[in-house]
Amino acid sequence: MKDVAAEAGVDTSLVSRLLNADQTLSVRPETEERVMAAVRRLAYRPNTAARTLKTARTMALGMVIPDLSNVIYAEIARGAGDRAAAAGYVLLISGAAAEVRTEILEDRVDGLLYAVATAQSVPDLDVPGAPPAILINRRGPASSPSVVVDDRAGVALATRYLLSLEHRRIAHVAGPQDVDTARRRRRGYVDAMTAAGLDVPAELTVESTFDEEGGAASTAALLRVTPRPTAIVAANSNAAVGAMAAVREAGLSVPQDVSVVGLHDIPHASYLNPALTTVRMPLAEMGGRAVDLLLGMIAGDPGGAVMVTTPPELIVRASCGPPAGR
């Protein structure tokens, strides 16, 4: 910075205030251009390590993701990374379990985002001396800071679409009910069925894991119910992919015998056979809102529970049609 100041013929303090976008600084345009030209000629970059020592901030945020191969978490991380970068932060992502967060992230970041997979993996967010932390795509205890999307509205939208096609025997491949997200998705299914004046028999809801294997096993059980369901709403698109495989394995066709729809749009949904109908949720927006909440906590705000209210969007593809005979 001293070299830049000498090159431009100004004080070091002016260079510092200019590069840090000091809003109280009043400087002539030609002076500012002379400083920035010197910055370019000398290829000057701020010393991040020195800035960290001076401000006691790492200018980094951490994000713990349970499954790095899951495209849903990738979309959330994209939104979080874009918002972090806009605020001058870098986002460090770890696929490790929450229990090892101290060793890998706590000493390196100013705040933590946890996209945990199960109720058992929810960390203690209020550890003395640890950086602020929030849950993302999950809710914990009432006092825990968190950011979620309206999963209930998403599954209700999917169920109403199947009802509009005149399905009445609609089943739900539900996520693990010890997870808040899965409970809210099941509630959306029940809401839509009840609003249509339909009963929800216990045998038409099967609890599953959020993956293809769980979706396939749950659907195989549903297809043994008499009379079998004519349509399935899966708690996420991975489970929906497994559901479609189970329908084929049973010698049936999608959507001629069983229609399938899954929550969350995924890149390969259009390339399945048939292409999978999905509900697109504002995942990237959720990631960005989580970073906003976390930055506020770093600045001293208490945090809180936030729901992204951007409406879900139905993406109609070929995996849904009227029930046979309609």
Q: In what order do the strands lie in the sheet with 111-114?
A: 90-94, 60-64, 111-114, 133-136, 146-149, 305-308
Neighbouring C-beta atoms of residue 120, cutoff 10 Å: 9
Query: Which tokens in the block code for residue 18?
Result: 């200019």
Alpha-carbon span 260 to 158, nearest angstrom: 10
Helix, strand, coil percent content, the chain, rounded in steps of 5: 45, 15, 40
**What's the pLDDT tens digit per position in 247-297?**
999 999 999 999 999 999 999 999 999 999 999 999 999 999 999 999 999
**What's the pLDDT tens digit per position in 79-89?**
999 999 998 89
Question: Nearest CA to 247 among 266, 229, 263?
Answer: 229
162 and 102 inside one domain? no
Would residue 314 count as lying in a domain?
no
10 and 35 inside one domain? yes
pLDDT for residue 97? 55
128 and 138 inside one domain? yes
pLDDT for residue 102? 47
Query: Which tokens in the block code for residue 38?
Result: 């010197």
273 and 217 inside one domain? yes
Would residue 94 count as lying in a domain?
yes
pTM for the structure as a whole: 0.81
167 and 67 inside one domain? no
Would residue 105 count as lying in a domain?
yes
In sign, the C-alpha dihedral spanning 52, 55, 59, 63 is positive
Alpha-carbon span 80 to 287, nearest angstrom: 4
Query: Which tokens in the block code for residue 237?
Result: 């698109």
Would residue 317 count as lying in a domain?
no
CA distances from 96 to 151, 237, 262 (A): 25, 24, 27
Alpha-carbon span 58 to 114, nearest angstrom: 18
pLDDT for residue 192? 98
157 and 85 inside one domain? no
Domain edge (last residue) among 281, 298, 321: 281
Would residue 100 count as lying in a domain?
yes
171 and 276 inside one domain? yes
Alpha-carbon span 78 to 75, nearest angstrom: 5
3-state secondary structure of 123: coil
The end-to-end CA distance of the chain, in Å, is 75
**Domain limits for position 34:** 2-46
For all residues of the chain together, what is the average pLDDT?
89
Triad 293, 157, 74: Cα angle to 5°: 45
Neighbouring residues of 130: CB distance < 8 A, sequence distance ≥ 6: 102, 106, 112
Residue 8's CATH number = 1.10.260.40
pLDDT for residue 95? 77
Alpha-carbon span 226 to 171, nearest angstrom: 12
CB 183 within 8 A of CB 177: yes
CB 5 within 8 A of CB 11: yes
Would residue 315 count as lying in a domain?
no
CB 319 within 8 A of CB 255: yes
Neighbouring residues of 241: CB distance < 8 A, sequence distance ≥ 6: 212, 215, 262, 272, 276
Local confidence pLDDT in tens for the 326 residues of the chain: 899 999 999 999 898 888 776 778 888 889 989 998 998 899 887 665 555 545 556 789 999 888 888 889 999 999 999 999 998 899 999 876 545 454 556 668 899 999 875 655 566 676 667 889 999 999 887 778 999 999 999 999 999 999 999 999 999 999 999 889 999 999 999 999 999 999 999 999 999 999 999 999 999 999 999 999 999 999 999 999 999 999 999 999 999 999 999 999 999 999 999 999 999 999 999 999 999 999 999 999 988 999 999 999 999 999 999 998 87
Domain count, the chain: 3
pLDDT for residue 47? 63
167 and 250 inside one domain? yes
Alpha-carbon span 60 to 89, nearest angstrom: 5
CB 63 within 8 A of CB 290: no
165 and 205 inside one domain? yes
10 and 28 inside one domain? yes
Would residue 180 count as lying in a domain?
yes
E-strand ranges in 168-230 read 170-174, 205-207
218 and 270 inside one domain? yes
Would residue 91 count as lying in a domain?
yes
Residue 101's CATH number = 3.40.50.2300
90 and 157 inside one domain? no
pLDDT for residue 121? 58
